[in-house]
Amino acid sequence: MAFRNPIRGRIRCRGLRTAGAGGTSRLPSHPPAGSLPGKNVKRPQLFNTHLLHEQRPQVAHGRSSEPKGQQRFSRVAAPLQVYAPSREDTEVTSSSDSAESSGDQYDIGSVAIDPSEDSASTSSSVSTTQILAPVKADMEAMNANLRSIVGGRHPLLVQAADQIFGAGGKKLRPAIVFLAARATCACTAKTDLTQQHRRLAEIVEMIHTASLVHDDVLDESSVRRGAPTVNKKFGTKVAVLVGDFLFAQSSWFLAQLDNLEVIKLISQVIADFANGEISQQQKVFDSSITLDEYMDKNFYKTASLIAASCKSAAVFSGCSQDIKDSMFEYGRHLGLAFQIIDDILDFTQTAEQLGKPQGQDLASGNLTAPVLFALQSKCGSELLDLIDSEFVEEGDLQRAIDLVREGGGVAAAKQLACEEADKALASLSCLDESEAKQSMEGMVSYVLDRLY
């Protein structure tokens, strides 16, 4: 199934006008789509400081000695900037551009598509069914195999496996692995995936699931995706053991791949999970956290796995170093956009939609992008007082959620997610046209579309 290029035509972030036919852009220019990080090309920067996650993140811990009112978010205070690819940088010809295929146009949330200057855009939500169509059979085989792997050792793990893998998740991470594998195979004339590609997807899902199980233990969460967590249903000890088993099993499978480059990539991810969790715990209710530190934590906890798995898929496809690096960049920026959107949804969706209590991150002291931006608004002082009090009074948490919205924190975070999404799309320019590549573009659209 062909997807319409999600950044074709005039692009705008809601509330901001960008360059279109006859229009004048208020946004910084975007580099050519072929110019990627790591190619000695300096990318447009968000704020006046360089985001540490542009290279291997190094998180600096510890609170500044300056007075809180003077130093908090000193590196976040510069105006937020968002950029988008120009038409010339990104336009491609596709059979889906015909009038007959206008039904395939879709809204990508903060980024809206205008087919022409004079006509209104036709849009609809991008469907995960469409996106995952090229890898539907791959995903079905993986799902069956995962239950067998996890439940084959002990009856209790069978129940836990049903609880974990049947809790309504879309399993986007292994789907991204399969899409990256098929898209990069198209560049090397491979006709089908290797067994290493398939095992990689299983490893990625096991690592991700293990991290969720352990996160729920640390956060004392009782609900995930609308279902009881493993620690709620089976107890903390069992949940810890299940997470440990998944990490151990994934590590054993990783070693059997017999590829040192991939082993190093995925092993680093497990270390990154621990680093990200430690960083987050050290910054609980810490209003001195900077946006750099927030983005570093997001890389460690979310983007690292997606980036490493996309690059690993390219390794098994036999791709050049440039393509492998570009796949890492795609996964990194997609993962960062995904986490920022997740953090926004914590303030914009109901508990029923989230499958967990609204504002849970804020309640536990995890200060995310919407909070960081709202602290710079006219509501910042009141919000800061509530955070410092750790929401001890009844109604404090709801008031803080309202202040984040009123202070423009959600809108500014949307712009930040838009920027990361643009970078992810630009990273795909190295790939030959294929159904899988179009689905990778659609995946970026889906990430942003979750807001609406």
From 211, 366, 355, 216, select the one nearest 285 (Cα to Cα).
Answer: 366
**Paired tokens of 113:** 């598509």
Stretch (H or E) spanning 332: helix 321-348
Q: What is the CA radius of gyration of the chain?
A: 22
Q: Residue 71 pLDDT > 70, yes or no?
A: no
Q: What is the pLDDT of residues 380-409, one digit of tens each?
A: 999 999 999 999 999 999 999 999 999 999
State whether residue 7 is helix, strand or coil: coil
Report if pTM > 0.85.
no
| Burial group, residue 67, by CB count within 10 angstroms (0-12, 13-18, 19+) | exposed
- Count CB atoms within 10 A of the CB of residue 78: 13
- State CA 306 to chain mean position distance: 8
Chain position carrying tokens 């992008």: 369
For the segment 118-127, the average pLDDT, to the nearest whole number, is 42
Distance CA 373, CA 295 (A): 13
> In percent, how much of the chain has pLDDT > 70?
67
CA-to-CA distance for 314 and 262, rounded, in angstroms?
10
Percentage of the chain beyond pLDDT 90 is 48
Residue 426 is predicted with a pLDDT of 97
pLDDT reading at 438 higher than 80: yes
| Listed range (105-109, 141-145, 205-209, 405-409) with the worst mean pLDDT | 105-109
Alpha carbon distance 369, 343 (integer Å): 7
Query: Structure tokens of 400?
Result: 């803080």
Measuring CA to CA, which residue among 315, 303, 329, 182 is closest to residue 257?
315
| Average confidence score pLDDT of the chain | 74
Neighbour count for residue 39 (Cβ, 10 Å): 13
**Which amino acid, one-letter code, is at 414?**
K
Report pLDDT for 171: 86
Neighbours of 7 (CB within 10 A): 27
